[in-house]
Amino acid sequence: MFVRRKKNSSGSFSIQIIQKVGRINKVVKSIGSSFDEAELDILERQAKLEIERMQGQTFLFSNDRDSSLKSILSNVGNNEIELVGPDNILGRIYESMGYHKIGIDDLFRDLVMSRLVYPGSKLKTVDYLSRFKNKEISVYSIYRYMDKIHKEFKEDVERITFNHFEKILGGQIGIVFYDMTTLYFEAPDEDDLRKIGYSKDGKHQHPQIKLGLLVGPQGYPLGYDIFEGSTYEGYTLIPVLENIQKKFSIGKPIVIADAGLLSSANIRALISHGYRFVLGGKIRNESKEIKDAIRELEITEDNPREVKKDGYRLVVSFSEKRLKKDAHNRKKGLEKLEKKVKNGKIDKSSINNRGYNKYLKLESEIKVAIDYTKYQLDARWDGLKGYLTNTDMKSKEVIAAYGNLWQIEKAFRISKTDIRIRPIYHRIPERIQTHICICFVSYAVFKELERLLKNRKVSFSASRAIELTKNMYQIRVFLPDSKTYTTVPLKPTQEQQELISAIMKN
């Protein structure tokens, strides 16, 4: 007899015990079916135990020890097989960071663990707790819990997170990175928090909120704030900075942010609050005077140059890689524009400076055409990147500091993929705020896991480590002689043992 995994028409898999009779595979017993890989793994283990039990019945001369062991294993049910990887690995990190000290009960921890291991809706969380933690809790209990704690623990969570990573960074945070993203909702109605606005995700018809995230070097999270979905991106920077500064007295770190935060109002606000900054510049949108000054410079990959703008330094760098990317994007944008003009989908109202519409011109009162001269002249700026700063950092230091902004882009990517912070199905503001808080802690645990794996030279990523925890089980068995229960962890794989050794190491 052997175990077979059979794919069903629905996309799920059935776990079956098969016996070969002649040339025909006969189904002896179906153990169960599931879409979930971890549950399928459990079903396969149960099938193997069932084969042992069934075969044990045919051995008339099996010894007492084998019979006793088979008897014990044959009585192992679903409730005796427990997933322990997330708690043993991720839970240990959660506690080492100090989250267990702030008075939040085990349910908050469970919500963080499930967000890391089985991210999804709260219904999926309920299913995870039932299947793998043997905890029966209704989704409505989770909702009521989220309503209760939405304000109570945010400051404690931020304090523990900030203190932990400040210590990791040597006790001083000299540079911070800021960015904002939009998070859309499946529910169609707006309210005081969820507003329809410009969506970076292209979900322009969905209500959304805006999440401002502040991180330190290496992408370590420091704090966050939530804003109404219609809030202009540029208005979110100063509130987040001031919030973190007041709470933790971090002084005035250098602020790194992308070109979306580049506005006269933001620059004035940063200066008036005493911040130094490096902001992404938009060279193509600069004045003719600034552009002429840049064109006179001999800028190479090894030789960035700078010009003055409004009393600040505009550092300009060049990259062959960026040149190829800019040229590719311009050509792609032009081809889309040509297709729209050919199909008559563009009129004179489309002539503006939004994206590649800047290449349009009006040939007569009604005919819109493409200005290919403007397109060709625009190639002069391919490969160039600007950085506006009021610091005394050297040009290459400015470029290097801004180059680390990818860390916050990675933070949002992790949040939206590994942790699945979106889409959000909640509509009550308290639940939305608690959901974001849970995701913030989950991201912090993820980053600490990533740091530990790197420091201890583990051969796989944090995402892979989390996958490995999904298949780390223990069995609870009854010992007939001592009349007691004991737990027996299943033998780890080589990768799992590497992970255990790295995280359990003092």
Q: C-alpha angle with apex 488: 485 to 494, nearest 5 degrees? A: 175
pLDDT for residue 258 is more than 80: yes
pLDDT of residue 33: 84
Average pLDDT over residues 23-48: 82
- For 351-371, the pLDDT digits (tens) are 777 778 888 888 777 788 888
Residue 292 pLDDT > 90, yes or no?
yes
The CA–CA distances, whole Å, from 211 to 119, 134, 335, 352 equal 19, 34, 34, 29
C-alpha to C-alpha distance for 47 and 32, rounded to whole angstroms: 9
Residue 82, pLDDT score: 81
Q: For residue 304, is pLDDT > 90? A: yes
Which of 380, 381, 266 minimizes the C-alpha distance to 312?
266
The band of 485, judged by pLDDT with boundaries at 50, 70 and 90, is confident
Mean pLDDT, rounded, for 368-393 = 91
Q: Which of 9-18, 74-83, 101-110 has the lowest mean pLDDT?
A: 74-83
Residue that wins the pLDDT comparison between 26 and 263: 26
Measuring CA to CA, how many Å separate 272 from each of 173, 256, 265?
21, 17, 10
Mean pLDDT within 434-440: 87
Q: Tell me, what's the pLDDT at 161?
A: 92
Residues 403-418: what's their mean pLDDT? 73
Q: What is the mean pLDDT of the chain?
A: 82
User: According to the model, what pLDDT value does residue 9 have?
Assistant: 84
Residue 40: pLDDT band (50, 70, 90) is: confident
How many whole angstroms separate alpha carbon 10 and alpha carbon 15? 14
**What is the arithmetic mean of pLDDT over 224-228?**
83
What proportion of the chain, given as a percentage, has pLDDT over 70? 86
Judged against a pLDDT cut of 70, whether residue 63 lies above it is answered with no
Helices (H) and strands (E) in the chain, counts: 18, 16
CA dist., res. 13 & res. 36, Å (int): 9
SS (H, E, C) 420-475: CCCCECCCCHHHHHHHHHHHHHHHHHHHHHHHHHHHCCCCCCHHHHHHHHCCCEEE
- Contacts of the segment 193-198: beta carbons below 8 A, 24+ positions apart: 193/226, 193/228, 193/229, 193/429, 193/432, 194/228, 194/229, 194/427, 194/432, 195/228, 195/229, 195/230, 195/231, 196/229, 196/230, 197/229, 197/230, 197/231
pLDDT at position 78, please? 57
List, for residues 166-213, the tens digit of each pLDDT value: 999 888 888 888 887 777 665 554 444 444 445 455 555 567 788 888
Distance (Å, whole) CA 33 – CA 264: 60
How far apart CA 446 and CA 418 sit, in angstroms, is 9
Position 423 pLDDT exceeds 50:
yes
CB 253 within 8 A of CB 390: no
Across 153-157, 262-266, 455-459, which has the greatest mean pLDDT? 455-459
Q: Which two tokens stand for residue 395?
A: 């040009």
Instruction: Look at residue 206 in the predicted model and tell me its pLDDT.
Output: 64
Assign 469 a pLDDT band (cuts: 50, 70, 90). very high
Q: Please report the pLDDT score of residue 190 as a whole number.
A: 44
How far apart are the C-alpha atoms of 238 and 270, rounded to whole Å?
Answer: 7
Strand ranges inside 35-158, DSSP E = 81-83
Q: What's the pLDDT at 243?
A: 81
424: confidence class by pLDDT, cuts 50, 70, 90: low
Read off the pLDDT of residues 138-151 as tens digits, 9 standing for 90 and up. 988 888 888 877 76
Beta strands in 111-207 (DSSP E): 175-184
Of 52-56, 128-132, 412-416, 444-448, the poorest mean pLDDT is in 412-416
Contacts of 130 (CB under 8 A, 6+ apart): 136, 137
Mean pLDDT of the 498-504 span = 91
Most confident of 68-77, 176-185, 261-270, 316-325: 316-325
Find where tokens 């493409």 sit: 370
Is the pTM here over 0.75, yes or no? no
The yes-or-no verdict on residue 466 having pLDDT over 50 is yes
pLDDT category of residue 73 using cuts at 50, 70 and 90: low
